Amino acid sequence: MFKSLGKNLLLSDDARFALKDVVKSENPILQLAKLSQMLKAGQKAEDAEILARAARQIAYDDFSIKVLTEWVDRIEAPVWHFDIIDDAIRLQAYAEALRRYVKPDMIVFEIGTGTGILSMLAVQAGARHVYTCEIQPDVAEIARQIISKNGYQDRITVINKNALNLEMGQDIPERADLFVAEIVDDTLLGERVLPLTEYARHQILKPKAILLPHTVSARGCLIKKHGLRQNYRAKTVMGFDLSPFNRFTPTELSLGRAGAEIEALSDDIELIKFDLNHDAPREATSSFRALANHDGNAEALMRWLHLDFGDGLVFENRLPQKSCWWPHIHIFPKEVPVKKGDEISFELYHNQDRLFLWPMT
């Protein structure tokens, strides 16, 4: 089996040559997994993945092989998938939205199957059939297993494709009545919610299809100096002036990295809002103002997600609400002393992948 392994796999010549030592070793499967690690470290990602998958296929139940090749799983299914299914409040919001909007005989379309939980919730809410798209082959296969295990295999079709390559009439037999997706991330736009929803509306959905959520927004507030656990401005440490290192002060951080202890210095405000029923500009610049409601030193602006499902049903990840979506902070180039009633103006630029904002002071 091992002698013919290199012939059956699409490997580079270097990887085929390295396989000769694997064949001669006392534990060839273990050496195969170790070789995949070496190739990965040597920037031979395609060879590394092929060999890692081969080792897994040969010794599927060997835990040592799983440990050495786990990085393959992280490509297909990053660990945040576990955070998603552990985020009960967010899942409850989606479940309630589906219960409100799904009607008998509806066809539902989803982008980003993951575990299949939203698709199963849609069927539970009464959908006739759900077509759900998952780009990662391993995740799509596990989703099918989960869906079958829960008895929904006849009403949910998992399509292992890039959503942009779906073909109406072939992958999906008819246009859908409702679209549901969790294609936002901490930064709001990082999972391409705007172009993917636009594509779904034009190519997959009926003209008056329901979108869940209806709108996605970024909201924010000023936060005080010392509100962050970590100080991102170097000063004098142990008698040494380290201030030149402030060239590397970050401009934006997830609060999962920066620490979650914050003090608000202003009321909450809407920074930008996208109605997913309409095409968004490919890029645009806007401005907003934050009004201080306390005296203090403004250190940063905290930004979080606001998803509106309609009829008063919303989800926010504003602290202290815990979510696998973390708020972000935009750190000012220098602290801004403010008194109650003072305003700080901001400029906000967005493209289809990211929001960028900075104070206009």
Q: Which tokens go with 224?
A: 């005080």
Per residue in 257-269, is it b (16+ CB within 10 Å) or e — as a string?
A: ebeeebebbbeeb
Architecture of domain 215-359: Distorted Sandwich (2.70)
Q: Give me the percent of the chain exceeding a pLDDT of 70.
A: 93
Neighbour tally for 222: CB within 10 Å: 28
pLDDT tier for residue 12 given thresholds of 50, 70 and 90 = confident
pLDDT tens profile 189-205: 999 999 999 999 999 99
pLDDT for res 93: 96
Nearest-angstrom CA–CA distance, 291 and 298: 11
Q: Report DSSP state, residue 260.
A: S
Tokens for 119, please give them: 């698709």
Q: What local confidence, expressed as pLDDT, does residue 270 receive?
A: 97
Least confident range of 137-146, 180-189, 250-259:
250-259
**Residue 257 region, left (φ>0) first, then alpha (ψ -120 to 50), else beta?**
alpha
Contact 266, 222 (CB under 8 A): yes
Q: What is the pTM of this model?
A: 0.87
What is the per-residue DSSP string for 301-353? EEEEEEEEEETTEEEE--TTS--SSPPEEEEEEEEEEE-TT-EEEEEEEE-SS
For the stretch 213-253, pLDDT in tens is 999 999 999 998 666 666 778 889 999 999 899 888 889 98
| pLDDT grade for 310, boundaries at 50, 70 and 90 | very high
Q: Which residue in 183, 191, 76 sits closest to 137, CA to CA?
A: 76
pLDDT, position 229: 61
What pLDDT shows up at residue 61?
A: 86
Spatial CB neighbours of 106, under 8 Å, sequence gap ≥ 6: 126, 127, 128, 176, 177, 178
Which whole-number Å values give the CA distances from 252 to 24, 85, 229, in the listed order? 51, 27, 15
CB burial of 47-84 (b: ≥16 within 10 Å; e: otherwise) equals bbbbbbebbbebbeebeebbebbeebeeebbeeeeeeb
What pLDDT does residue 60 have?
Answer: 80
Section 315-325 average pLDDT: 90
pLDDT exceeds 70 at position 143: yes
Sequence ranges of the domains in the chain = 5-76, 81-212, 215-359
Q: Determine the pLDDT at residue 9.
A: 66
**What does each C-alpha distance from 284 to 212, 280, 333 come to in angstroms?**
24, 9, 23
- Which of 66-75, 179-188, 328-337 shows the lowest per-residue confidence on average (mean pLDDT)? 66-75
The helix/strand count (H/E) of the chain reads as 12, 16
Retrieve residue 99's tokens: 């219960």
Give per-residue pLDDT as tens, 340-355. 999 999 999 999 999 9
- Say whether 215-359 and 81-212 share the same fold: no
CATH superfamily of 81-212: Vaccinia Virus protein VP39 (3.40.50.150)
Rounded to an integer, what is the distance from CA 80 to the centroid of its chain?
Answer: 8
Say if CB 140 and CB 110 are below 8 A apart: no
Q: Per-residue DSSP letters for 2-15?
A: -TTHHHHS---HHH
